[in-house]
Amino acid sequence: MTALLTTNLGDFHLLGRGKVRDLYAVGGALLLVATDRISAFDHVLATGIPGKGKILTQISLFWFDLLSDLVPNHLIASDVASYPAALHPYRDQLEGRSMLVKRAAMFPIECVARGYLAGSGWKEYQVAGTVCGLSLPSGLKDGSRLPEPLFTPATKSQDGAHDENISFAVAEQLVGPADAAELRRLTLAIYARAAEHAESRGLILADTKFEFGRTPDGVILADEVLTPDSSRFWEGSSWNPGGPQPSFDKQFVRDYLESIRWNKQAPAPGLPDEVVERTQAKYLEAFRRITGRELSL
Model confidence pLDDT, tens digit, residues 198-248: 999 999 999 999 999 999 999 999 999 999 999 999 999 999 999 989 888
Whose CA is closest to 187, among 145, 223, 151?
151
Q: What DSSP character marks residue 73?
A: B
Contact indicator for 225, 67 with CB cutoff of 8 Å: yes
On the question of pLDDT at 159 being above 60, the answer is no
How long, in residues, is the chain? Answer: 297
Model confidence pLDDT, tens digit, residues 18-40: 999 999 999 999 999 999 999 99
**Surface-to-core class of residue 56, CB atoms within 10 Å of its CB (0-12 exposed, 13-18 middle, 19+ buried):** buried
Superfamily of domain 1-103 in CATH is Phosphorylase Kinase; domain 1 (3.30.200.20)
Model confidence pLDDT, tens digit, residues 265-283: 999 999 999 999 999 999 9
3-state SS string over 107-142? CCEEEEEEEECCHHHHHHHHHHCEECCEECCCCCCC
CATH of region 105-238, choose from 3.30.470.20, 3.30.360.10, 3.90.1640.30, 3.40.50.300: 3.30.470.20
Across the chain, mean pLDDT equals 95
Task: Give me the pLDDT at residue 133, please.
Answer: 87
**Residues linked to residue 205 through DSSP beta bridges, in sequence order:** 233
**Residues linked to residue 114 through DSSP beta bridges, in sequence order:** 150, 207
On the question of pLDDT at 161 being above 60, the answer is no
On the question of pLDDT at 160 being above 70, the answer is no
Contact indicator for 74, 101 with CB cutoff of 8 Å: yes
Whole-number Cα distances in Å, 122 to 95, 102, 243: 39, 36, 10
Contact indicator for 109, 151 with CB cutoff of 8 Å: no
| φ and ψ of 210, to 5 deg | -125, 160
Stated as kind and residue range, the H or E segment containing 173 is helix 168-175
**% of the chain with per-residue pLDDT over 70:** 98
On the question of pLDDT at 103 being above 70, the answer is yes
Between helices 52-66 and 177-200, what is the axis angle to 10°? 110
Start-end ranges of CATH 3.30.200.20 in the chain? Answer: 1-103
d(CA 239, CA 234): 7
Start-end ranges of CATH 3.30.470.20 in the chain? Answer: 105-238
Contact indicator for 195, 169 with CB cutoff of 8 Å: no
